[in-house]
Amino acid sequence: MRNRLTNLLFITFILSSASAGVTFNLNTSTAPGFTDTSSTLVLRGTMNGWSGNDWEMSNVGGDYWVYTSDTLDTGDYDYKYFMIDAMGNELSESTDDRVCTISGDTVLSQDYWENGTTPPYTETDSIDVWFRVSTAGIIGYDGDTMFVAGYMNSWNGEPLVQEGDSEFWSRQYSFDPEGSTIGYKFQHGTGGWESIGNRTATLSADTTLVWVYWDNIPPSGDEAVYTDVTLTVVDEGLAFQDVRFKGQFSNWSLVQGYDDGTNGDETANDGIWTTVLDSVVGPTSYEWGAVECDSTCDEGGDGTWLLGFIGEPNQEFSIAEDGSVTGSTSFTIPYLGDPITKTVIFSVDMTEWLDEEGFTGLPIFSVARGDQMQVRGAFNGWNCDDPADCEMTRTPGTNLFSLATSVTGYPTTATEFKYFMELDSSSVDILSQTYGDIYDEIGWEDSPQFGGGNRWFTLGSDDGTGLLELPLSGYFDLPIGGVVPCCRTVTLTFNVDMVDAVEQGFDSLEDSVYISFKDRWLKYTQGLGDDYKVYATANGDGTYSADASFVGPFPWHMIYTWGFYDVSELAFIEEGGGFGFGRSRARYHHANANNDCWWRDYSFPQDTFQVEDPPLPVEEFDPESICIPLASVGDEMIPDEYFLSENYPNPFNPTTSFTFGISSSKDVRISIYNILGQKIFSFEKGRMDAGTYEFNWNGENQMGEQVTSGIYFYEMEAGNDFRNIKKMTLLK
C-alpha cells in the first residue's frame, strides 16, 4: 500500500533559529473505536514532561490524526500516544516508548496505534480502503457475522472480520489508483440490508473510512426485550398452495407459513396463513411481507411478493420497551377474479438510440453489431432464459421493435416490466473505447414517465380477442426529437426547498445539499461517474440551486433525487428508493418556442425535499411539447417534385427561414457553410414524410455561438435524390 497521506499533511512553518517544525502522524485503524469523535488523542513525551493535553491531535479524516509543533529544539525525544474518552478515562499505548530524532523541519513517518510504523495491510500500488462498522446500536445483537456490499463486489455481500472481541467489523478492498466514487452498504447477516440510502465514498488515497453504526443507529441504552410475534396473511380467494414470510426479523430470508392447523395456525385450510416468530428482539421496528411460493422457493427463488401483487407497501410492526407489539401484523389478499391469459404485444421505438447512418440521437444501439432489445418483467422472471417471451424483433423499414407473448394473470393485477437493451460484446468494446468502461447492468431502462420505476400493465377482463396491445413507448420514453443535438453545451439549473428535510436531521449550518442523477446512460455518455452528484448552493432563504452542464447529444429528460450529507451522522440522506413508481424525480428540458426552438440553458421549477416514501413527483410527459426548428407547413401541401426556396428575410439579423419540399419519404439533412466552405451547422431529422416544411436558423453555429456578419450557404439534402445549395447574407 502506498502511503500518500504524509505528502498531503506537510505544512511549511516559519521557524526560529532555535526550533523546528515537526509533524506527527497517527493512524488508529489498529485501535478499534478511536475514531469516535467523543474521544481525544494527545501526544505526551519528554518534549512536554509526559503530562497535559496541550498536544491534542486533530482528526483529518477516518483513522488519520495529525499534530504539528514548531517549538521543538533539535534532539532526540521519547513519546507515546494517549486516548482520553468522554468520561475522562485515559488509555496509553501498551507498547514501548516511541523514539524520534529532530534536526530541522521534520514530517515523521506514519505511526499506527501500538503497531510502530507497520500498516495493518499489505502494501500494493492500488488505493486500499478499509470499511468499518459498529454493531453497538443493534439491539439484541448476538454476534452474527456482518457483511459489506457495494460496487466493489457487484453488491454481493462479503463477510467482514471482527476486530478482536470488540463491536467493530472491517474489511479491506483495493481500487484503481486513479480513484473513484463508490456506493456501498453494510448488512446484518447475509440479507439484513441497512434501511438507509447507499453510503458513498470518494477514493483518492489509501484510507480507513470513518466508522459508522449499522443503519446509523447509535446505542440507545434500552435493555433488549424479547417477545413472540404472530403474522398472518388472509387469502380471500386465490387458493395459495404455499405462503412464506420474510422481513427484517429474518434478514429477509424466507420463513415458512402454515394453513394446516399447526404451528400457531388455528384452522386448517381456511385461507389464513400464519407464522409465529419466537423471541423477536426489541425495542425496535420491523418491516415485513410475504410471498407466494412455487418450486423455485426451494431452489433459492423468492416467489411472488404479495404486497407488490396488490400494490401495497411493506407492512411494519414495532416492539415497545415493555414487549408489547403495535402496528401491522396481518394483511389481506382480496379476491382478484379468475386467472386470465392474453397475448400481450410490447412495442418500443429506438429511433433516438440507433447508431446508424443518418441518425442524430444517442449512438448506442446497433442491430448490425448484434445488439438486441428485450422485455423483462414479472411474467418471465425478469430474465431472458426463454427468448420466446423476451426477445423483440425489428419491424422491417422502421425503428420499432416488438414482441407478442402469452401472459397469464389476474384481470386487475398489475404486471411490472422494463425494456432492456442487451448489448453485443462488439458494441461494449466500441462504447468502452469511446466513453470508458461500461457500467454493469446498464441496459435496464428507467422510465421517466414512471419516475425511474418499473412499467406496468393489467390484463383486464376477457373481451373475446385474447389480445392486449400496449402503447408504443420509446426506450427511456425518449421521443423523436427529444435529444439535444451534438456538440451543444447546455447548463441546467435545478432548485429545491429544503424546509421539510429538517425532519430528517438536515442542518443548514453544516450539512451539504446535492442532486443525484439516476439516468445511467446520461452519466455514462457524459463521462461522469455512476454515482455522479452535483452539490448545491444555498440561496439564503432555505432554497438551494445546483447547476449541471451537459454536452449534446443528451436526452431532454432528467431523472434525479435530492439528498444531503448529514455531518453529525456521517451519512448521505436521499429521497426515493425502491423499484416502484416515482422512486426518482423526472423533469424535462424544454426548448424555447419564443427563441427559435433551440435547446438553451434552462432552469427547472422548484422542487420541495420529500421526506415521505415514494412516489416522488414526476413532471407530465408531453412529447408534443418538444419544440424543434423544423416545422411542417401542412400535410396537404405535398409537392410533385423536390424544391428549396430562397431564405427570408435576406439579408437577415439574426434569424431567417426557408422552406423545402420532398415528394416522397426521405432522410433529410440541412447544412450551413461559411464563405470558406467550412460546415458550421448541421441538422439531421432522419426519415421524413412527403410534404412541405419550414426551417428556421438563428445565426448560431453547432456550438451555440453567434456567427459574425458575412455570406453563408445553406444546403438541403433528401436521401440521394435531391441536393441544392443557396446563398444568404447576415448583416449586423
DSSP 597-639: T----EEPPPEE---SPSPPPB----GGG---SEEEEETT---
* C-alpha distances in Å from residue 547, one per residue of 202, 225, 466, 490, 705: 21, 50, 50, 10, 20
**Residue 391 CB contacts under 8 Å (≥ 6 apart), including other chains:** 372, 373, 374, 384, 403
Of 490, 614, 636, residue with least CA distance to 554: 490
What topology does CATH give the domain 127-216? Immunoglobulin-like (2.60.40)
Residue 684 · residue 668 · CB < 8 Å: yes
CA angle 556, 474, 467 (to 5 degrees): 155
Residue 34 · residue 42 · CB < 8 Å: no
Going by DSSP bridges, is the β-strand pair 512-517/489-497 parallel, antiparallel, or unpaired? unpaired
Strand positions, DSSP E, 283-392: 284-292, 304-305, 315-319, 325-327, 330-333, 340-349, 372-377
Instruction: Tell me if residue 411 falls in helix, strand or coil.
Output: coil
Cell of 478: 425518449
Q: Which CATH class is domain 5-112?
A: mainly beta
Q: Which amino acid is it at 641? A: E
DSSP 38-105: T-EEEEEETTTTT--SSSB-EE-STTEEEEEEEEEPSEEEEEEEEEE-TTS-EEE-SSPPEEEEE-SS
Residue 362 · residue 521 · CB < 8 Å: yes
Q: Which amino acid is it at 624? A: E
Three state DSSP letters for 524-582:
HHCCCCCCCEEECEECCCCEEEEEEEEECCEECEEEEEEEEEECCCCEEEECCCCCCCC
What order of strands is seen across the sheet that includes strand 710-718? 679-688, 666-673, 710-718, 722-730
* C-alpha distances in Å from residue 256, one per residue of 228, 240, 243, 719: 16, 13, 7, 65
- The pTM assigned to this predicted structure is 0.64
pLDDT at 631: 66
Q: Which CATH architecture has domain 483-625?
A: Sandwich (2.60)
What topology does CATH give the domain 340-477? Immunoglobulin-like (2.60.40)
Of 493, 506, 495, 502, residue with least CA distance to 607: 495
Q: 476 phi and psi, to 5 degrees?
A: 65, 20
CA 111, CA 124: separation in Å to the nearest integer? 18
What distance separates the 2 farthest-apart alpha carbons in the chain? 102
Sign of CA dihedral 391, 396, 397, 402: negative
Q: Identify the helix (H) or strand (E) that includes residue 365.
A: none
Q: Which amino acid is it at 136? A: A
Residue 258 · residue 273 · CB < 8 Å: yes
Q: Which CATH architecture has domain 630-730?
A: Sandwich (2.60)
Per 3-state DSSP, the chain is made up of helix, strand and coil in percentages (nearest 5) of: 10, 45, 50
CA 351 to chain centre: 26
Mean pLDDT in runs of 10 for the chain (732 residues)?
36 43 87 63 94 88 82 91 82 91 87 84 73 86 88 84 84 74 84 79 76 83 88 90 91 91 94 94 91 78 80 89 95 88 96 87 95 94 92 92 94 91 96 91 94 93 93 93 86 96 92 94 92 92 96 95 86 80 91 70 95 89 77 70 91 88 88 89 79 86 83 92 92 86
CA 246 to chain centre: 26
Going by DSSP bridges, is the β-strand pair 533-535/393-394 parallel, antiparallel, or unpaired? unpaired
CA 586, CA 588: separation in Å to the nearest integer? 7
Task: Compute and round to an integer the Cα radius of gyration of the chain.
Answer: 32
CA 719 to chain centre: 41
Burial call 510-549: b when 16+ CB within 10 Å, e when fewer: ebbbbbbbbbbbbbbbbebbbbbbbebeeeeeebbbbebe
Q: 434 phi and psi, to 5 degrees?
A: -85, -45
Cis peptide before 614 (omega within 30 of 0): no
Residue 333 · residue 257 · CB < 8 Å: no
CA 526, CA 524: separation in Å to the nearest integer? 5
CA 110, CA 599: separation in Å to the nearest integer? 53
| Domain covering 225-333 in this structure, CATH number | 2.60.40.10
Q: Identify the helix (H) or strand (E) that includes residue 401.
A: strand 400-409
Residue 190 · residue 252 · CB < 8 Å: no
Task: List the chain domain ranges.
Answer: 5-112, 127-216, 225-333, 340-477, 483-625, 630-730
Residue 112 · residue 121 · CB < 8 Å: no
CA 392, CA 401: separation in Å to the nearest integer? 6
CA 333, CA 64: separation in Å to the nearest integer? 54
CB atoms within 10 A of CB 57: 21
Residue 417 · residue 390 · CB < 8 Å: no
pLDDT at 323: 92
Of 185, 184, 199, residue with least CA distance to 574: 199
